[in-house]
Amino acid sequence: MLETKTTPFRYDESLESALSHIENLLKDSYSVSKRTVSLLLLQGDPEIERRVRKQEASSYTSIQRIVSEARANYNQPISYVIALRRQQEAKRILSTTVTKKEKFGIGFAERLSRTMMNPVTGSLILLIVLYFGLYQFVGVIGAGILVDFIESTVFGEWVNPWVTDFVVGLVPLQIIQDLFIGKYGIVTLGLSYAIAIILPIVTTFFIVFSIIEDSGYLPRLAMLIDRVFKTIGLSGRAVIPMVLGFGCDTMATIVTRTQETRRERVITTLLLALAIPCSAQLGVIFAILSGNGLALITWVMAVALVLLLIGYLASKVIPGERASFYIEVPPLRLPKLSNILVKTYSRLQWYFIEVLPFFIMASILLWIGELTGLFNLAISGLEPVVKLIGLPAEAAVVFLYGFFRRDFGAAGLYDLHSSGELLGVPLVVAAVVLTLFIPCIAQVMVMLKERGIKTALAMTLFIFPFAFLVGFVLNLILTKLGVSL
């Protein structure tokens, strides 16, 4: 190992004497200097303590004694004393190497940054970002124009007829034909849902999200929203997984790792599974409710209310340390096109590696289900529940899709709506239930991995009946009030 030339700087006398005593007692070899090992011991690093106890069995008690004696010398934690001394040393070095010209006034980026952090102008900016970024770009362009084009033109006019001809020509057997091109066929359902409906929505979302990310807007949003999030047991930092959840809840559940306490991770995971629609759901819901402002607002209000209510209750029930909020607010930067494109591409790649197999598998399962009659059995089992919340029996199919993937269910909802079978109040109720409803298989897998079986299972078991309960109540309220949407 290459040794550095300089001798390390010195701490105060009593610390130095403790350090040299400990260093002398460390007989084994370590991958870092004994000085560092001793410093970490003095600061009470549990991992290093374990390590040294194992490697220095005979002298560990003496080491412990020196450590506790050294600690008794200070009123503050030793880590603080050490940090202060290092800071002094850094200042000493910088005093001879860095010069700063005093700058007056603030630039445009800083002015914009402060506008974003002002609650009044900041909320306005948030609304603009949501309206243009999410509603217009993802909802109207992604879920509307692009989906229309790919679904009806690309698949409807080119791919499906071509594949149908090809399959029919290849295999004469009706059952096998159905596997690929039937009602639940791999191409006609699996692939066309994935590529025609999900791809454009997810792509547009990830583009917007990348721009938002690279500009440095998220920490500012976190700062604005911290107080609200505190009431649901989270800190402002949780906006990062939450906003990402609007793209893909599965991805966002992985990102909960960056949260500080277990309690925050559990609450965020629950809220992501329950009340944060993923981009595919969001896109489809925007698309089917876009012509109806009141319906859209009802949906937003219902889901937001559930989010706050369950978050609030969860924060009361789930034990653990209270969240504290601190985040670095980096300067606003102009996003780089190349980074946005590459990032969107790599996220899409990740997404499709996750999604496509599930879509194809779902098609196959549905095909088997129909063949064996299990499918109809499941639907007839769901029908009473679906009817109870005021939906037509056909909606049961959508929920069955939803089991496989959130977005799959959303795509089913889109189909049902465009065929004119679901309108008005039932449409809004279906949209709400489907948003809250069971997280997709991929998400449940990640929940199992990140939170453990018990927690993940408890969440899933809670969400399923709860989603229908909310649907039931919402339907009751809307019909009793005589609202027509």
Partner 1 sequence: MELEEKAEELLETIWICTEEGTEDSLAVVGLREEEKEATEQLLKVDYIMATDGHLRLTKRGRPVARNVVRRHRLAERLLTDVLGTSDMLLHEKACKFEHLLDRGLDESICSLLGHPKICPHSKPIPPGGCCQQERAPAPKLVSPLSRLSPRQKGKVAYIYATESSQLQKLMAMGILPGASISLIRGFPSYVFQIGQTQFAVDKEIAKAIYVRLVEPETISETQEELPHGRGRGCRLRRFGRWWSKRS
Partner 2 sequence: MALWEKVLKTISFGKSGGGCHWGEARLDNNHLSRVGIVGNPNVGKSVVFNNLTGAYVTVSNYPGTTVDVARGKAKIEGVGIEVVDTPGMYSLLPITEEERVARLILFEERPEVILHVVDSKNLERMLPLTIQFIEARLPVILDLNMMDETEVAGIEIDVNRLEKELGIPVVATVATAGRGMATIRKRLVEYVRNQNYAV
**Residue placing its CB nearer to partner 1 in the complex, 73 or 376:** 73
463 neighbors 437 (Cβ within 8 angstroms):
yes
**326 interacts with, out of partner 2, partner 1, none, CB within 5 to 8 A per kind:** partner 1
Which stretch in 27-35, 165-173, 280-288, 390-398 sits in contact with partner 2 by CB under 8 A? 27-35
Write out the DSSP string of 366-389: HHHHHHHTHHHHHHHHHHHHHHHT
Report the half-sphere exposure of 389 (CA within 13 A, side-chain side): 27
53 neighbors 60 (Cβ within 8 angstroms):
yes
User: Binding residue for partner 2 (CB under 8 A) from 15, 150, 198, 218?
Assistant: 218
**117 interacts with, out of partner 2, partner 1, none, CB within 5 to 8 A per kind:** partner 1
List residues binding partner 1 (CB under 8 A): 75-77, 79-80, 83-84, 87, 91, 113-114, 117-119, 219-220, 222-227, 230, 235-236, 324-330
User: Binding residue for partner 2 (CB under 8 A) from 99, 174, 419, 484?
Assistant: 99
Which stretch in 29-37, 132-140, 307-315, 452-460 sits in contact with partner 2 by CB under 8 A? 29-37
351 neighbors 440 (Cβ within 8 angstroms):
no
**Residue placing its CB nearer to partner 2 in the complex, 263 or 417:** 263
By CB under 8 A, residue 13 contacts partner 2: no
Long-range contacts of 133-138 (CB under 8 A, 24+ apart): 133/208, 133/211, 133/212, 134/205, 134/208, 134/246, 134/282, 134/286, 135/286, 137/204, 137/207, 137/208, 138/201, 138/204, 138/205, 138/208, 138/279, 138/282, 138/283, 138/286
**Residue placing its CB nearer to partner 2 in the complex, 61 or 258:** 258
Contacts of 268 (CB under 8 A, 6+ apart): 234, 238, 241, 242, 256, 259
**114 interacts with, out of partner 1, partner 2, none, CB within 5 to 8 A per kind:** partner 1
Report the half-sphere exposure of 467 (CA within 13 A, side-chain side): 25
Report the half-sphere exposure of 85 (CA within 13 A, side-chain side): 15
Question: Cα–Cα distance between 293 and 471 in angstroms, integer?
Answer: 20
214 neighbors 333 (Cβ within 8 angstroms):
yes
Task: Give me the least distance between CB of 84 and partner 1, in Å please.
Answer: 6
**Residue placing its CB nearer to partner 1 in the complex, 100 or 454:** 100
Which stretch in 98-106, 184-192, 272-280, 310-318 sits in contact with partner 2 by CB under 8 A? 98-106
Task: Give me the least distance between CB of 371 and partner 2, in Å please.
Answer: 34
Closest by Cα among 285, 284, 288, 296 to 193 = 284
Which stretch in 38-46, 111-119, 366-374, 459-467 sits in contact with partner 2 by CB under 8 A? 38-46
Residues 239-268 that bind partner 2 (CB under 8 A): 240, 254-255, 257-258, 260
Residues that bind partner 2 (CB under 8 A): 1-6, 8-9, 28-33, 35-36, 39-40, 43, 45, 47, 51, 55, 79, 83, 86-87, 89-91, 93-94, 96-103, 213-216, 218-219, 240, 254-255, 257-258, 260, 327-328, 330-331, 333, 335-336, 339, 342-343, 346-347
